[in-house]
Amino acid sequence: MDQNTRTEILAIHDLSKNFGDTVALDHVRFNLYAGEVHCLVGENGAGKSTLIKILSGAERADTGRIIAFGQTYSRLSPNQSLALGIATIYQEVELVKSLTVADNIFLGHELKTRFGLVDYLTQNREARALMDSLNITLPETALVQDLTPAQQQILQIVKALHVNARIMIMDEPTSSLGIEETKVLMNIVRQLASQKLGVIYISHYLQEIFEIGDRITVLKDGQVVDTFDVRSTDLRTITKSMIGRERSLFYGRDAVETGAVVLQVHNLSRFGHFENVSFNLHRGEILGFGGVVGAGRTALMNVIFGADRRDTGEIILNGRPLNPDSPRDTIEQGMAMIPEDRKVLGLFDLRSLLENITIVVNETSGPVLDHRRENAAVQEIVKRLHIVAAGIRQMAGFLSGGNQQKVILARWLLSKAQILIFDEPTKGVDIGAKEQIYNLMVQLAKDGKSILMVSSDMPELISLSTRIAVMREGKLVVTLHSKQVTEQELLGYFLGIHDN
Amino acid sequence: MTDLGATIKRRLLANQWSFLLIVVVLLSIIAGTVNNRYFWPGNISNLLGQISVLSLVACGATILIISGNFDISVGANIGLSSVVMAMLMRSGVFPPLAAFVGVLIAIVCASLIGGAAILFRAPSFIISLAAIGVFQGIALFITQGTIQTIYGQFEFLGGMKIFNVLPLLFIIALLGYGLTHFILTRTQLGRCVYAIGNNQRAAYLAGINVNRQKLIFFALNGLFVGCAAMLLLSRVGAAQPSTGTGIELQAIGSVVIGGAPMSGGKGNVLGTFCGVLLWGVIGNALNMMRVNPYIQDVIIGLLIIFAVAVSSLRLHAEKAMME
């Protein structure tokens, strides 16, 4: 395409957005031409989702301008966004699964007969015609629940086209698809572009992006690093600009001597999530688990902690086989879990700091509470972890993300856990609290405890882990010594670039 | 308004129970002004006696609702256990023993509801809704629909008054509140009530045996219900299958008016007590003011809506602050 004949349909100028103290977007600029696929890449937390949410009207920018089809906006409401023809297709399928393909296409603006009833026949016919015009072969009368994930993604596209979408935003559309299905979807995306739609395409899979994209914009820590033309760049340049960052973000940790093996995992599988995973965890070790979202890391931790069933394999804890019925059993054996989604899986938001912190020891402290001892223990740990709160009676829901994380950590420190599972320990945590949590984790290792840490934060993974186990598509592909690996190499393992 | 006035106002509105207490006092002042017999010992004594049975049922409901569960079959449970008590007494069984057996039946019935809800992973609300028919049917079958009068065999609990004013019934109700308060604030079990109600998944992941604890909550509720049935039988002197009908909604209403969200995780006994008190005082005060009985229902309904609105808006504001 010639530079001069392209029509710019969307331009973003100096868009900024803060969430409290966290900068989500920092003077972002971005533009989109009709008929191009513009890919957006960046690590988790780089600001991609926030940008999409602002374009779809779900979030409001603090400052900046959006120019769509010649009109300037300082913010878009969901309705404005829809009226402009901006359609977002999320990785979570948003369809009514118990209705047919045609019903879903016409959902909310059904065709009516003379009597005001839904005109299924005409709907089916028009749905067929619409899909034929796109060379899409979905059975219009099939129920959505009977479609494959790929077909469901495609249906979402058709649905968006039916309401005259002119800008299509696709957020990780292939993350749950197989290779063949991905190809089909990518063909459709190319076809959309050939019909003069603008496509904003977000994906973790860089090879896919090189196949499909016209331009690539790299986001990092809320800033645009650069926009590249696909024909004049390569994978190396992109990965480098994705991760290139200041050294200060790396945490300098003290070395800890590791000891004997405390936990052995052999050929552990939970079908559909992960398969044949084996590793050893040593005393004093922080074993990091890296990989892209959906690689099976959290599912693995849930099985080890006893929250989910395994299909095959064994877990040996301190030389004895571990066959837990529930987390209660693993907790008795000295395990702990600090989950990724702390609001849903960890926190009692309506309850006080005190109740949140004592909930695990409560199980072993006898039927009647000793308020004085409890108070003293909680006061001590709140001070030790620098938890900022109005007092130990404050409701935990009112605390900041970092302090909530520390409250959950405090619960396990009080229970004297020996093996701690941290799932994304610093997600949504501000920089100051982040460093304190790192210090604590290293102190735990020094005290002879062992840690399994799932993290999608590269610097965190490299600087905190003793070793890094990389998972990809449910398999543990390699275990690396963190001292010998660079961010770029690690990203290569995550995405499967090194071994082909 | 002065600063002091503003502070007092904020203090009083900070807790649902203090707000309810204000409403109760205002109602009492109005009723007492219209008809000074409202404050006569006879009426107060009567009022306290009236709310005693509801108090015990509301104690059980407090524990269940805070833990995120419901048992709306408690009315039918009272019907069944009180007719069993009455029939045993009529057939010559030593009254305290008969009462004990009745309480046991109430505990078993309530536990069965909890057990079924846990086993089938079904909402306890629906299970207990279905159980109403079961309990009432059994009670109707064994009594053949007749009233079981016990001819003053078991009057001691219901009739005794301390200093001629304070009914023993009310003392027992206070003991029930005390026990519930102790459980909720001073025991391992109480912590689990709040934890499971606030976030069941997190409670499971923190090592709590959620199913076993839930069963205990239901059994405790059964204990309160059984005691309520015993008091009611003693007070009325007769039992029939429909005894207790409607009390479940009053009890749930009292807990929610008292500031506990229907979704659980929060609440306290003081709130429930004030909720029960409000319920009792409205009816009594309207009677004393000789309000037309048809209009009474309208006023009671509107006042309850008002009280729930204040409670809900407060919870909502709190949630908004958390975001």
Residues A355, B195: C-beta atoms closer than 8 Å: yes
Beta bridge partners of A89: A170
Say whether both A58 and A205 belong to one domain. Answer: yes
Query: Residue A358 half-sphere exposure, CB side, CA atoms within 13 Å?
Result: 30
B192 CB neighbours in chain A (<8 A) are: 362
The span from the CA of B289 to the CA of B283, in Å, is 10
Beta bridge partners of A10: A32, A68
Q: Is residue A161 part of a domain?
A: yes
Question: Among B194, B195, B226, B192, which Cα is nearest to B212's?
Answer: B192
- Hey, what are A112's tokens? 């009516």
B204 CB neighbours in chain A (<8 A) are: 307, 326-327
Q: Is residue B200 part of a domain?
A: yes
Residues B208, A328: C-beta atoms closer than 8 Å: yes
Say whether both A332 and A433 belong to one domain. Answer: yes
Residue A168 DSSP symbol: E
Say whether both A218 and A257 belong to one domain. Answer: no
Q: Please tell me whether the overall predicted TM-score, pTM, comes out greater than 0.80 for this model.
A: no
Say whether both A388 and A253 belong to one domain. Answer: yes
Say whether both A218 and A335 belong to one domain. Answer: no
What is residue A321's predicted lDDT score, i.e. its pLDDT? 95
What is residue A1's predicted lDDT score, i.e. its pLDDT? 46
Distance to chain B for A299, nearest Cα, Å: 14
What is residue A366's predicted lDDT score, i.e. its pLDDT? 85
In whole numbers, what is the pLDDT of chain B averaged over residues?
90
Dmax over CA atoms of chain A, in Å, equals 80
- Hey, what are A161's tokens? 């086209």
pLDDT in tens, B122-155: 999 999 999 999 999 999 999 998 999 988 888 7
Residues A359, B201: C-beta atoms closer than 8 Å: no
pLDDT in tens, B158-193: 778 877 778 999 999 999 999 999 999 999 999 999
Angle between helices B74-90 and B41-66 (to 10 degrees): 120
Question: Among A322, A321, A285, which Cα is nearest to A422's?
Answer: A285
From A331, A339, A349, residue closest to B198, measured CB to CB: A349
A221: left (phi over 0), alpha (psi -120 to 50) or beta: left
Q: What are the Cα distances from residue B114, in Å, to B67, B118, B124, B128, B225? A: 12, 6, 7, 9, 14
The span from the CA of A411 to the CA of A336, in Å, is 9
What is residue A248's predicted lDDT score, i.e. its pLDDT? 46
3-state helix/strand/coil string of chain B: CCHHHHHHHHHHHHCHHHHHHHHHHHHHHHHHHHCHHHHCHHHHHHHHHHHHHHHHHHHHHHHHHHCCCCCCCHHHHHHHHHHHHHHHHHCCCCHHHHHHHHHHHHHHHHHHHHHHHHHCCCCHHHHHHHHHHHHHHHHHHHHCCCCEECCCCCCHHHHCEECCCEEHHHHHHHHHHHHHHHHHHHEHHHHHHHHHHHCHHHHHHCCCCHHHHHHHHHHHHHHHHHHHHHHHHHHHCEECCCCCCCHHHHHHHHHHHCCCCCCCCCCCHHHHHHHHHHHHHHHHHHHHCCCCHHHHHHHHHHHHHHHHHHHHHHHHHHHHHHC
Beta bridge partners of A8: A33
Query: Is B150 in contact with B237 (CB distance < 8 Å)?
Result: yes
Q: How far apart are the first and last CA of chain B?
A: 32
What is residue A498's predicted lDDT score, i.e. its pLDDT? 59
Residues B194, A348: C-beta atoms closer than 8 Å: yes
Say whether both A231 and A253 belong to one domain. Answer: no
The span from the CA of A298 to the CA of A339, in Å, is 9
3-state helix/strand/coil string of A95-116: CCCCCEHHHHHCCCCCCECCCC
Interface of B with A in 237-266 (CB under 8 A): 265-266
Query: Is A297 in contact with A452 (CB distance < 8 Å)?
Result: no
Q: Is residue B41 part of a domain?
A: no
From B187, B191, B207, residue closest to A331, measured CB to CB: B207
Q: Is residue A500 part of a domain?
A: no
**Residue, of B72 and A94, whose pLDDT is higher:** B72
The burial of A411, by beta-carbon neighbours within 10 Å (0-12 exposed, 13-18 middle, 19 or more buried), is given as: buried
Candidates B182, B185, B186, B199, partner chain A, best to mutate (most A CBs within 10 A): B199
Question: Among A251, A186, A197, which Cα is nearest to A465's?
Answer: A251
Say whether both A262 and A156 belong to one domain. Answer: no
Interface of A with B in 107-166 (CB under 8 A): none
Q: Is residue A70 part of a domain?
A: yes
Q: Is residue B80 part of a domain?
A: yes
Residue of B nearest to A367 (CA): B188
Candidates A298, A305, A362, A403, partner chain B, best to mutate (most B CBs within 10 A): A362
Who contacts B1 (Cβ-Cβ below 8 Å, separation ≥6)? B9
Question: Among A409, A377, A402, which Cα is nearest to A392's?
Answer: A377
From A348, A397, A398, residue closest to B195, measured CB to CB: A348
Q: Is residue B218 part of a domain?
A: yes
CB of A355 within 8 Å of a chain B CB? The answer is: yes
The burial of A316, by beta-carbon neighbours within 10 Å (0-12 exposed, 13-18 middle, 19 or more buried), is given as: middle
How many residue pairs from chains A and B have C-beta atoms closer than 8 A?
Answer: 83
Of all residues in chain A, what percent are helix, strand and coil, respectively (each to 5)?
Answer: 35, 25, 35
Map residue A127 onto helix, strand or coil: helix
Q: Is residue B229 part of a domain?
A: yes
Would the pLDDT of B51 be above 60? Answer: yes
Residue of B nearest to A354 (CA): B191
Domain C-terminal end among A224, A246, A268: A246
Distance to chain A for B249, nearest Cα, Å: 25
Residue of A nearest to B207 (CA): A328
Query: Is A9 in contact with A193 (CB distance < 8 Å)?
Result: no
CB of A308 within 8 Å of a chain B CB? The answer is: no
Q: Give the length of chain B.
A: 323
The number of domains in chain B is: 1
The span from the CA of A476 to the CA of A148, in Å, is 27
Q: Could you give the percent of chain B with pLDDT greater than 90? A: 65
- Hey, what are A342's tokens? 């702390």
The number of domains in chain A is: 2
Say whether both A399 and A328 belong to one domain. Answer: yes
CB of A398 within 8 Å of a chain B CB? The answer is: yes
Residues of chain A with pLDDT under 50: 1-2, 246-248, 499-500
Query: Is A459 in contact with A425 (CB distance < 8 Å)?
Result: no
Question: Among A153, A99, A133, which Cα is nearest to A108's?
Answer: A99
Residues B209, A326: C-beta atoms closer than 8 Å: yes
The span from the CA of A51 to the CA of A47, in Å, is 6
Distance to chain A for B265, nearest Cα, Å: 6
Place of tokens 């696709």: A170
Say whether both A106 and A130 belong to one domain. Answer: yes
A359 CB neighbours in chain B (<8 A) are: 191, 195, 203, 206, 208
Q: Is residue A137 part of a domain?
A: yes
B187 CB neighbours in chain A (<8 A) are: 367-369
Query: Is A424 in contact with A456 (CB distance < 8 Å)?
Result: yes
Strands A167-171 and A198-202: parallel
Say whether both A184 and A78 belong to one domain. Answer: yes
Q: What is the CATH number of the domain that holds A56?
A: 3.40.50.300
Say whether both A467 and A486 belong to one domain. Answer: yes
B203 CB neighbours in chain A (<8 A) are: 348, 359
A371 CB neighbours in chain B (<8 A) are: 186
Which helix (H) or strand (E) is A53 found in, with range? helix A48-56
Beta bridge partners of A122: none
Q: Is residue A384 part of a domain?
A: yes
In degrees rounded to 5, what are phi and psi of residue B207? 95, 10
Domain containing A44: what range?
A: 3-246
Residues B205, A346: C-beta atoms closer than 8 Å: yes
Residues A369, B198: C-beta atoms closer than 8 Å: no
Give the ipTM of the model, two decimals please: 0.89
Query: Is B230 in contact with B85 (CB distance < 8 Å)?
Result: yes
Which amino acid is present at B87? M
Residues A369, B188: C-beta atoms closer than 8 Å: yes
The span from the CA of B255 to the CA of B263, in Å, is 12
Domain C-terminal end among A246, A281, A316: A246
A347 CB neighbours in chain B (<8 A) are: 199, 202
Domain C-terminal end among A246, A275, A301: A246
CB of B201 within 8 Å of a chain A CB? The answer is: yes
Say whether both A233 and A281 belong to one domain. Answer: no
Q: Is residue B221 part of a domain?
A: yes
From B187, B206, B265, residue closest to A350, measured CB to CB: B265
Which helix (H) or strand (E) is A199 found in, with range? strand A198-202
Domain containing B145: what range?
A: 51-257
Question: Among B316, B319, B246, B308, which Cα is nearest to B20's?
Answer: B308
What is residue A444's predicted lDDT score, i.e. its pLDDT? 94
- Hey, what are A67's tokens? 């120019």
Question: Among A94, A91, A88, which Cα is nearest to A169's?
Answer: A88
